[in-house]
Amino acid sequence: MRNKEKRQDWRFRISHREAIIGVILAVINFIWWYGFAYGLGSKPPEEYTYVLGFPAWIFYSLILGTLVMFLLVFIVVKFLLTDVPLDDEVESVENDEVSER
């Protein structure tokens, strides 16, 4: 059993970390949406405030939330995610040795 733990591919650690980052982004998106949609949208319609012709809860939860998430995803992809080769390391090492000959 210890051999399996020692032999785990390094790419799994990276993919697990990136999956957790993706879940965190989804949770942030849901909290943002829920907070603004139900926080500002729970009033009677007569009391709504408007931003650019939209009720404030729609503007902040959907329109601004989408733009914020685009920005967060861009930042995460640019600075936190890494490019990982998907080919098998053993095969690539063997192929490199054959091509050098």
Q: Dihedral through CA 94, CA 97, CA 99, CA 101, nearest 10?
A: -140
Contact yes or no for 72/78 (Cβ under 8 A) = no
| Arithmetic mean of pLDDT, 31-60 | 92
Q: How many domains does the chain have?
A: 1
Q: How many residues does the chain have?
A: 101
pLDDT at 34: 95
% pLDDT > 70, the chain: 81
- Rounded to two decimals, the pTM is 0.74
Which is higher by pLDDT, 18 or 3?
18
- Domain range for 49 is 2-100
